Amino acid sequence: MGEDATPQVSSRATELAEAAMAGDRGALARLLTAVENRTPLAEAALRRLYPVAGKAHLVGITGPPGSGKSTLVAALIGVVRAAGRAVAVVAVDPSSPITGGALLGDRVRMQSYAGDQAVFIRSMASRGHAGGLASTTTTAAAVLDAAGFDLVLIETVGTGQSEVEVAAAADTTVVLEAPEMGDEVQAIKAGLLEVADLVVVNKGDKPGALRTAAQLRAMLVPTVARTPTDRPTPKRPEVMVTTASTGEGVPELLAALDRHRATGRAAESGGARRTRAEAQVWAILGERLRASLVAPERAGTTEAVLEDVAAHRLDPYAAADRLLRELTAG
Amino acid sequence: MGEDATPQVSSRATELAEAAMAGDRGALARLLTAVENRTPLAEAALRRLYPVAGKAHLVGITGPPGSGKSTLVAALIGVVRAAGRAVAVVAVDPSSPITGGALLGDRVRMQSYAGDQAVFIRSMASRGHAGGLASTTTTAAAVLDAAGFDLVLIETVGTGQSEVEVAAAADTTVVLEAPEMGDEVQAIKAGLLEVADLVVVNKGDKPGALRTAAQLRAMLVPTVARTPTDRPTPKRPEVMVTTASTGEGVPELLAALDRHRATGRAAESGGARRTRAEAQVWAILGERLRASLVAPERAGTTEAVLEDVAAHRLDPYAAADRLLRELTAG
């Protein structure tokens, strides 16, 4: 299982990888497109880039619509650049690759840093990945890491499970909240807060911001998790207040990110890096498995088994076991 | 790979499955808890129930927060019951199993049908499933199907990829919209519309509802998909207007659901059932694979490989191939 790329693809991948590491932004953009489309080129390039990656600080930034993520990311870019560091943004875009319409915000932000080699902003579509969003985003972050960015911000709309998983795959996860959100959003927030290393109440100039921050601090008293999760350790994320539109609190946010990197989950062995490695390897294993089940020599059997499940003649567990026997037999 | 349940678990599973099919709602609730927690009991019970399932109409209902999903589902339950049919609801709850707080709405709705054996409402937590949300929800729907419900409504907050996938796994997918939503929500909508078989503009008594419906109809002109997806066929979902709070348009919605079931994607061979079977089998394969990699005889090797990936000494593709060799060798 696991076909090798053709020599042509391999040599093109090496060429693009070398160019991206040497600062060629066009090559970098082409590699990210390959990652997004999951082409063999992406795999070949990642094999070259992955050993060089591992130096950047990966920061997930997530929050419900209207919490001001884009504005905060723009303000954070400014502060990071003022500190002389290079920063890349992967914005997971909830809009559709089919019906078009990327979020306009990114284009506007990109323009204001046009010509600055140390800033790179990239939107990734979130649809049509069939569960592979976290894997694709993590791979994109590794490419940007290898290309030499000190900080890679991964921005997602934190209202769905996949989007939260994407943010949680970072070394440090920032969850944004806006003052006074509605009831349904409150419920979403509860799920989001679980993955937070830092909670930021943005729109600090709005009435209720300080009260929201105080409520969150009260809510985030460390408790032992009641259900099994990947992170059983009780933790109490810091709650900060920012006003991204004026920049207030943003330098403090960068300082908190740096502190977390030095001392938090990002620094733990068996922490964020281990979790991320595991998720990536499982995702690739799943793809390999699927590819070998639909390969010409097994496609007929696989198809017959799936048809039996669709018709309820066979239960999906029995089907999975039958397919596994096919794989290990051949 | 794929351990069999102990005889005790098997016999308990058979007992609960028989009871659930005979109308015991307590047994049904216990089975759904097992499905949610992915216990061996759930697998054993599904093996008994799956061959009996396949008769219910599975309807996904999704839409952004504030589009009035819960109110519409409640109104739809009333119309379905008036038609003498039994209906179950699986509400995928975005709130956290850890920080608590299920959506109150469900409890309120449940009370108003207390004592009606032909209505069953169940919330499922959406966090902590590590990509298995669609699989768990599909399994829960199969259990309710086998228990004899004519209609199984799967309600999700359609703002994340997983949640959309859950809704899209149904025979018929209804996407709700409310008049006049904000910009970010518009972008989310584009992704949602792709999976819609029926689009419902709810809150039809609000200003702009008819205009929103007209805009959606104009937007939904059939086009050939520009990117590869699982559903390449151009389709043009029907756009309807409802006012769930007064019940206006809800009988028409049920009629449209029935029409879609008879003639739409639900009726196609290779359609929704085939897609769902495939997704279920792949999810189970992934779980089996993972279980055998962390089984005692392989755990040491697996751990060493994952540590190497975390430390960037090994790329994740090479790691996946090494683990696959372990599996097929032993």
User: Is A46 contained in some domain?
Assistant: yes
Do B34 and B73 fall within a single domain? Answer: no
How would you label B113-131 residue by residue, b for 16+ Cβ within 10 Å and e otherwise? beeeebbbbbbbbbbbbeb
Cβ separation A225–B129 shorter than 8 A: no
Of A96, A184, A316, the CB nearest to B277: A316
Task: Decide if A56 contacts A85 (C-beta within 8 A).
Answer: no
User: Is A319 contained in some domain?
Assistant: yes
Residue of A nearest to B302 (CA): A278
Do B40 and B179 fall within a single domain? Answer: no
Do B63 and B42 fall within a single domain? Answer: no
Q: Report CA-CA distances (Å) from A276 to A36, A135, A161, A196, A229.
A: 18, 9, 16, 16, 15
Cβ separation A184–B321 shorter than 8 A: no
Of A103, A182, A316, the CB nearest to B284: A316
* Overall pTM > 0.80: no
Per DSSP, the residues of A225-274 read -SS--S--S----EEEE-BTTTTBTHHHHHHHHHHHHHHSTTTSTTSHHH
Phi, psi angle pair for A63, to nearest 5°: 170, 165
What share of chain B has pLDDT > 90, as a percent? Answer: 48
Q: Tell me how many residue pairs between chain A and chain B have CB atoms under 8 A apart.
A: 272
User: Is A283 contained in some domain?
Assistant: no
- How many domains is chain A partitioned into structurally? 3
Do A316 and A230 fall within a single domain? Answer: no
Do B179 and B217 fall within a single domain? Answer: yes
Do B189 and B323 fall within a single domain? Answer: no
SS3 A60: strand
For the segment B49-97, what is each residue's pLDDT rounded down to a tens digit?
999 999 999 999 988 777 888 889 999 999 999 999 999 999 886 553 3
User: Is B278 contained in some domain?
Assistant: no
Of B191, B194, B316, the CB nearest to A277: B316
**Nearest alpha carbon to residue A283 among B162, B276, B317:** B317
Quote helix, strand, coil % in chain A, to nearest 5. 50, 15, 35
Domain with B209 in it: 54-268
User: Is B154 contained in some domain?
Assistant: yes
User: Is A122 contained in some domain?
Assistant: yes
Do A43 and A66 fall within a single domain? Answer: no
Cβ separation B194–A127 shorter than 8 A: yes
Do B83 and B132 fall within a single domain? Answer: yes
Cβ separation B191–A46 shorter than 8 A: no
CATH number at residue B258: 3.40.50.300
Cβ separation A131–B164 shorter than 8 A: no
Structure tokens at B259: 């029409």
Residue numbers in A near B310 (CB within 8 A): 273-274, 276-277
What share of chain A has pLDDT > 70, as a percent? Answer: 79
Q: State mean pLDDT over A92-114.
A: 52
Cβ separation B288–A321 shorter than 8 A: yes
pLDDT at A5: 74
User: Is B242 contained in some domain?
Assistant: yes
Of A2, A98, A323, the CB nearest to B226: A98
Do B33 and B139 fall within a single domain? Answer: no
Do B93 and B177 fall within a single domain? Answer: yes
Of B98, B126, B191, the CB nearest to A127: B191
Do B205 and B302 fall within a single domain? Answer: no
User: Is B168 contained in some domain?
Assistant: yes
pLDDT at A140: 95
pLDDT at A114: 73
Which are the contacts of B123, defined by CB distance < 8 A and separation ≥ 6?
B91, B92, B93, B102, B103, B106
Cβ separation A288–B324 shorter than 8 A: yes
Strands A57-63 and B238-241 turn out to be unpaired
For the segment B11-43, what is each residue's pLDDT rounded down to a tens digit?
999 999 999 999 999 999 999 999 988 899 999
Mutation target for B interface from A133, A162, A317: give the one with most B CBs within 10 A. Answer: A317
Cβ separation B277–A310 shorter than 8 A: yes
Q: Is the pLDDT of residue B98 over 60?
A: no
Do B85 and B227 fall within a single domain? Answer: yes
